[in-house]
Chains A and B, each alone.
Chain A
Amino acid sequence: MDKAQCERLLEALSDYLDGESASSELCAEIERQLAECADCRVVADTLRKVIALYRSLPQPGFPAAARLRLYQALGLEAFLDDECPPEVQ
């Protein structure tokens, strides 16, 4: 990972993986570099995998008890509706 081409690929890698703002010329250059350099291929493949993994993480929910306290803190209790799941006793 010390060659100028590797550095160039690294700089453009996010845009390339996102399919964003990379010209077809740059895309071709990146693909050529990926075909020729095993290290670049590992970085690109593992980076792609990391992106897929964190995108599939479950999103944390907003706890019902916290929602209730928020409405109370803002003086909005009157607007707490039936959609709020019942508090766990």
Chain B
Amino acid sequence: MVNRAATDEDDAERLLLQRLRNGDKSACAQCVERYSPALYRLALRLTGDAAAAEDVVQETFLNAFKAIDSFEGRSSLSTWLYRIAANAALMHVRRQQPLMVSLDDMFSDDDKLVPQALFDWCCLPERDFEASETRAELERAIRELPEKLRVVFVLRELEGLSTDATAEALAVSPDVVKTRLHRARLWLRERLSPYFMDRALAGKEG
């Protein structure tokens, strides 16, 4: 059975694309309205800076509208926009933190992440997980993910792109996306476990 919602979505995008190619300003506005919140979230998660994220979104649309004729439609318009935005955001990070990126480049997809944190903190009361301090710690941990893992993690897990769309946006294979997502999750678990362990032990002492 044909997925009607997906087909309608495809038709709407094809129509929008045609209007963009014709230089239709209202189509540009429609495109901006539709995709800017998601591109802003992506840029913010990758750069960690609101002003930089805003610049990245502007740059993404300026470049996309300029290059719209070269967009071949092999991926969806949104995936193409994610790709431009991710590249722009990573360029920004590299300009700001060249040393950090060179360390990230040493991270290999073949590296084994052997779990070290083996304390079970799942039993913490729900209020500990819901605390604003816990959310801030999670956000910090996501910002500290090695770049190769972070970009996959944000697209796949926080923006909800499929494995294939994430692979297209980053020009890597679907297997690489799956491996990096798995490693990102294990990395976050390892990074966050001491924080939760401290809370669990503090709770017992209290």
Contacts and interface: CB of A to CB of B under 8 A. Distances in A.
Size class of A's contact patch? 35 or more
Interface residues of B, number: 44
A39 B118 contact: yes
B25 A78 contact: yes
Given A54-B138, A70-B58, A79-B25, A47 B189 contact: yes
Nearest to A50: B189
Interface of B is mostly: helix
B36 A55 contact: no
B13 interface: no
Interface of A is mostly: helix
A12 B182 CA distance: 9
A14 B138 CA distance: 19
Interface string B130-149: 00001100110010000000
Contacts of A51: 157, 185
Interface of A: 1, 7, 10, 13-15, 39, 41-43, 45-47, 49-51, 53-55, 57-63, 66-67, 69-71, 73-76, 78-79
12 contacts: A7-B112, A14-B181, A15-B178, A43-B115, A45-B122, A50-B188, A60-B40, A70-B32, A74-B61, A76-B28, A79-B25, A79-B29
